[in-house]
Amino acid sequence: MATLTAPEVSIEQDAFPINGTDYVEFYVGNAKQASHYYRAAFGYQLIGYRGPETGVRDRASYLMQQGKIRLVLTTPLHPTSSIAEQLHRHGDGVKDYALWVDDARLAYATAIERGAIAVHEPRVESDEHGDVVIAAIATYGDTIHSLVERRNYHGLFLPGFKAVTPHYQPSDVGLKYVDHCVGNVELGQMNRWVDYYGTVMGFRNLITFDDADISTEYSSLMSKVMANGNDKIKFPINEPASGKKKSQIEEYLDFYGGPGAQHLALATDNILATVTALRDRGVEFLSVPTSYYAELQERVGTIDEPIEELAALGILVDRDPDGYLLQIFTKPVEDRPTLFFEIIQRKGAKSFGKGNFRALFESIEREQELRGNL
C-alpha cells in the first residue's frame, strides 16, 4: 500500500504533453433545463450555445463556465442518434473529458501508435475566429477524450458556438477548476485502464488504494490514481471488490449500464463559503455522523477552519505528509445513482482523503439502502 506521491515529470520527459482540462461534456435528457440547474444550484454562467439556431440540426449544446471549469451540456434532438442511444442506456452523465493539447494531430497519432482506441481522426472546425483541430480517443465505456488544439482559434469556445448573455445569471459559488475525475470500471478491469493511460498517454500511478484501505462491513473497492506528466490531469479509476453486499461501484455500473465517470472533483479556495452557497441553492450533500467531528482534531491536528463550522456543513478533513485537504460529496445529481460531485479545497495535501473513506462509504451505503440497492 503506497500513499506517497510520485514526483512530477519534467516537460522534456513528458511522453504526452497535455496543457490541462479543456472541457467536460455531458449528455443530458434536457439541456435547456440542465443549464438552468447548473446555474441556479452550482453557480455556473451560461455563456455559449450551439444548436438548430446556429446551424446544428441534431443536438443542442449549452456552454457553462465557472472559474476555469467549462461544462458542455448536450442533448439529442431526435430519437435515433447515437447521442440518444447513449442517453437511453446511461441516463445523464459525462461523455467527453476533453484534453487541451498543443498539437492534436501529433497527440492523436502518438496515442493511436501506442494502442489507443480511435473515436475519430483529427478534423478541422472553422469559423470567422479561426480553426480548431479536434481528434478523439475512447476510454472506459462510452466515455471519450477529445484532444483539442486551439492555438489558431480566438473565438469564445469552439466553432459554431455563439455567445449568449441570458438575463438569468446567478452569482458563482467560487468553483475554480476540475481537480480530478473518477471513473468506475467493472471488476477486474481497473488494471486494464491503468495500463491504457500509462501506455497511451504516459500517465503514472500516483497512488493505489486496496480493499484494506477502502472497505466497510458491506462493500469495498480498489482504486488507482493516474496522473499525467504535469499533474494537472488526475484520473482515479475504481473497480468493485467483493464484500458482503452490493458495493457502491456495482450499483453505479448497474444503473449507468457499464463503466463511466463516477464523480468530478471541483476545487475551491474557500470551501466554507462555497458549500454554504451550494446548500442555500439546494445542492444536497452526503452527511457523516457527529462522532466524525469528535475525533477530527486528534486525527488531523491544527487546521485553520473552525471544526464546528465544518461539522455544521458536513465537510470532511484529511491530512497527508504535504498538508491537509477539505472535501465534501454531493448526492447523485440524477435520479439514477450515478454521477455526483466532490467539492475540494487543498491546503498543501496532494492526496484524495483516504482517512475519510470509511465515513464516506458508510454514508453512501446508508443512501444505497434507502434506494433498496445494498
Q: Give the interface with Fe ion as residue ranges (CB under 5 A).
A: 265, 342
**What is the Cα–Cα distance from 171 to 254, expressed in whole angstroms?**
36
Nearer to Fe ion, 158 or 283 (CB): 283
Cβ 267 to Fe ion, closest distance in Å? 11
C-alpha cell belonging to residue 373: 440497492
Phi/psi of residue 248, nearest 5 degrees: -60, -30
Cβ 259 to Fe ion, closest distance in Å? 17
Write the CB contacts of 97 (distance below 8 Å, at least 6 apart in sequence): 21, 24, 139, 143, 144, 145, 181, 235, 261
**What is the Cα–Cα distance from 90 to 141, expressed in whole angstroms?**
10
Nearer to Fe ion, 71 or 111 (CB): 71
**What is the Cα–Cα distance from 216 to 362, expressed in whole angstroms?**
7
C-alpha cell belonging to residue 161: 458556438
Cβ 182 to Fe ion, closest distance in Å? 5
Nearer to Fe ion, 292 or 357 (CB): 357
C-alpha cell belonging to residue 44: 455556473
C-alpha cell belonging to residue 211: 480493499
Nearer to Fe ion, 251 or 342 (CB): 342
**Do the Cβ atoms of 74 and 144 come closer than 8 Å?**
no
**Do the Cβ atoms of 268 and 274 come closer than 8 Å?**
yes
In the three-class reduction of DSSP (H, G, I as helix; E, B as strand; rest coil), residue 171 is classed as: coil
Nearer to Fe ion, 172 or 342 (CB): 342
The identity of residue 336, as a single letter, is: R
Cβ 263 to Fe ion, closest distance in Å? 6
Write the CB contacts of 372 (distance below 8 Å, at least 6 apart in sequence): none
**What is the Cα–Cα distance from 82 to 84, expressed in whole angstroms?**
5
CA distances from 272 to 50, 281, 284 (A): 35, 14, 15
CA distances from 244 to 190, 218, 247 (A): 21, 5, 8
Nearer to Fe ion, 265 or 283 (CB): 265
Nearer to Fe ion, 147 or 265 (CB): 265
Cβ 8 to Fe ion, closest distance in Å? 20
Nearer to Fe ion, 146 or 327 (CB): 327
Angle, CA of 224, 228 and 230, to the nearest 5°: 135
**What is the Cα–Cα distance from 43 to 49, expressed in whole angstroms?**
17
Question: Could you tell me which residues are beta bridge partners of residue 27?
Answer: 74, 93
Cβ 296 to Fe ion, closest distance in Å? 19
Cβ 353 to Fe ion, closest distance in Å? 7
Cβ 231 to Fe ion, closest distance in Å? 15
Cβ 356 to Fe ion, closest distance in Å? 10
Nearer to Fe ion, 147 or 249 (CB): 249
Angle, CA of 233, 239 and 242, to the nearest 5°: 155
